[in-house]
């Protein structure tokens, strides 16, 4: 087969519509544009959102406002008071342990400790972020705050399946 022998498959191409060629053609006189009106005129270029003078839908809807920071880190927050309810004095608190005990819901977010509530005993807390009040309350009762990297969040689903 040569290049000049190539043809599109039958039915793939249709003849162009010839309008304004007399009453017998079915598209004569007004050429399918109707009797009158804005769209019956020549050189009428209407934007796709035009609604005949009515306020277009795209202008009636509320616009997006504000700024969305793509670099924002969304933390799962836990208050110091909640840690006091769940853990005994002297315990070591890790994000994995908080997930296992269902203290935090989002498994794939870093954990931030906030300072609402009181601590009775010392806790050794490992988290991705601490508020100043939480850090003060934990260290005041003899506990420690260990900062983890918020970019590295380990979840239970990241573990490889056991080989059988």
pTM above 0.85, yes or no: no
pLDDT digits (tens, 9 = 90+) for 52-73: 889 999 889 888 888 889 999 8
3-state secondary structure the chain: CCHHHCCCCCCCCCCCCCCCCCHHHCCCCCCCCCCCCHHHCCCCCCCCCCCCCCCCHHHHCCCCCCCCCCCCCCCEEEEHHHHHHHCCCCCEECHHHHHHCCCCCCCCCCEEEECCCCCCCCCEEEECEECHHHHHHHHHCCCEEEECCCCCCCCHHHCCCCCC
Domains of the chain, first to last: 76-154 (3.100.10.10)
pLDDT digits (tens, 9 = 90+) for 94-150: 999 999 999 998 878 999 999 999 998 999 999 999 999 999 999 999 999 999 987
């Amino acid at each position: 087969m040569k290049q000049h022998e190539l043809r599109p498959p039958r039915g793939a191409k249709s003849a162009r519509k010839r309008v304004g060629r007399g009453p017998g053609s079915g598209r004569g006189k007004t050429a399918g544009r109707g009797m009158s009106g804005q769209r019956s005129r020549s050189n009428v270029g209407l934007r796709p959102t035009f609604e005949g003078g009515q306020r277009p839908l795209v202008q009636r809807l509320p616009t997006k406002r504000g700024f969305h920071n793509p670099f924002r880190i969304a933390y799962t927050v836990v208050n110091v008071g909640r840690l006091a309810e769940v853990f005994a004095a002297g315990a070591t608190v890790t994000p994995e342990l908080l997930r296992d005990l269902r203290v935090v819901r989002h498994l794939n977010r870093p954990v931030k400790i906030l300072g609402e509530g009181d601590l009775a005993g010392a806790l050794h807390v490992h988290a991705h972020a601490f508020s100043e009040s939480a850090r003060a309350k934990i260290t005041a009762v003899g506990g420690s705050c260990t900062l983890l990297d918020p970019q590295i969040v380990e979840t239970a689903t990241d573990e490889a399946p056991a080989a059988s």
